[in-house]
Amino acid sequence: MRWWLVVVCLAACPGPAADQQQPYIEPMASPSRPRLDDSLIEFRFEGGQIEFEVWRQGSRVTQLARNRYAVPLVMRWAIPTFANLTPLTPTEGVIVLPAADKPSGTSQSLVLAEFEIIDTAYRYRREISYRAKFGDPRARPEDYAYRLPYPTGLTFSVLQGFHGTFSHRGSNEFAVDFDCPVATPVLATRDGVVIASNAAAQGAGTTSEYLDY
Q: Name the pTM for this structure.
A: 0.69
Check: CB of residue 66 under 8 Å from CB of residue 51. Answer: yes
- Name residues whose C-beta falls within 8 Å of residue 152's C-beta, 6 or more positions apart in sequence: none
Q: How far apart are CA 32 and CA 58, in angstroms?
A: 8
pLDDT of 21 strictly over 80 = no
Provide the sign of the torsion angle of the four alpha carbons 196, 197, 200, 201, taken in this order: positive
CATH class of 7-134: mainly beta
- What is the pLDDT at residue 95? 96
- What is the pLDDT at residue 204? 65
- What is the pLDDT at residue 207? 72
- What is the pLDDT at residue 155? 94
Q: Where in the chain is the domain with CATH 2.60.40?
A: 7-134
DSSP 37-70: EEEEEEEEEBTEEEEEEEEEETTEEEEEEEE-SS
pLDDT of 167 strictly over 60 = yes
78 DSSP 8-state letter: E
Q: Give the model's confidence band at 148: pLDDT under 50 very low, under 70 low, under 90 confident, else very high.
A: very high
Beta bridge partners of 81: 127
